[in-house]
Chains A and B, each alone.
Chain A
Amino acid sequence: NAGVMQNPRHLVRRRGQEARLRCSPVKGHSHVYWYRQLPEEGLKFMVYLQKENIIDESGMPKERFSAEFPKEGPSILRIQQVVRGDSAAYFCASSPGTAGVRYEQYFGPGTRLTVT
């Protein structure tokens, strides 16, 4: 079984460009979470999505960041007009089930974004 897939694994963007991060959850999982991790720090929740719905985006900056999980295709985290402070590892996780976090989350390998 394929696990959570994220691409690209490494992404370099110049200040002001857009970054698009993709996440394909485990087959059959309909819950996707995005986290940001700065070096030597913990995981910070950004957004929780189900198919075609944003359930909780309380951890996402109100400007420049957006996320979607369409009916078909991967979940996308989009960062517009990137700044150096956006440099971090972005992890996607998926879970089965219909009741939030009573189930383990399966993490993808992450996308390491570097803004120059």
Chain B
Amino acid sequence: QQPVQSPQAVILREGEDAVINCSSSKALYSVHWYRQKHGEAPVFLMILLKGGEQKGHEKISASFNEKKQQSSLYLTASQLSYSGTYFCGTEGGNDYKLSFGAGTTVTVRA
């Protein structure tokens, strides 16, 4: 089942912060975050695994609340290059595939 992302869109000025949320109705084993710029391929940002393990981008942080089946991606001191659509992908443990949310479009302005 597709996870729900919020907000759908956010507009920031350079240097501002934002939080993108991803919620699932089922138990999760892992959450993946990707960013896609218009007309390009999605680019990997981060994986969060059940149990607390994380790996990914140095300048972007995320959290994973296993009990609430939620993940949040934190964009701190945003830069123009942060603009794009952010997708979370969730995996339920036995699926071996990702279900992606509808995306959150982030626009960072100078």
Q: Which of A42, A56, A99, A106 contacts B100 (CB 8 A)?
A: A42
A-B contact count (CB 8 A): 66
The interface-forming segment of A13-21, A69-77, A78-86, A107-115 is A107-115
Main secondary structure of the interface of A (DSSP, over half): loop
Size of the B side of the interface (Cβ < 8 Å), in residues, is: 25
Q: Which residues of A contact B100 (CB under 8 A)?
A: 35, 42-45
In the bound complex, how far is the Cα of B81 from the Cα of A7, in angstroms? 27
In the complex the two chains form, is A100's CB within 8 Å of B32's CB? no
Q: Which of A42, A91, A102 contacts B2 (CB 8 A)?
A: A42
The answer, yes or no, to whether A30 is at the interface (CB within 8 Å) is no
Size of the A side of the interface (Cβ < 8 Å), in residues, is: 26
Q: Which residues of B contact A33 (CB under 8 A)?
A: 97-98
B40 to chain A, nearest CB (A): 7
Q: Which of A44, A55, A99, A108 contacts B41 (CB 8 A)?
A: A108
The interface-forming segment of B13-21, B43-51, B63-71 is B43-51
Q: A100-B91, A105-B32 are in contact. Are A45 and B41 (CB under 8 A)?
A: no
In the bound complex, how far is the Cα of B106 from the Cα of A91, in angstroms? 22
Main secondary structure of the interface of B (DSSP, over half): strand
Nearest first, the 10 A-B pairs at minimum CB distance are: A100-B96, A107-B41, A104-B44, A43-B100, A101-B91, A42-B100, A42-B102, A107-B42, A109-B41, A42-B103
11 contacts between A and B (CB under 8 A): A43-B87, A48-B97, A56-B95, A56-B96, A91-B41, A99-B96, A100-B95, A101-B91, A102-B47, A102-B49, A110-B41
In the complex, besides A91-B42, A100-B91, 17 extra interface pairs with C-beta distance below 8 angstroms are A42-B2, A42-B100, A42-B102, A45-B98, A48-B97, A56-B95, A101-B30, A101-B96, A102-B30, A102-B47, A104-B55, A105-B44, A106-B44, A107-B41, A107-B43, A107-B44, A109-B41
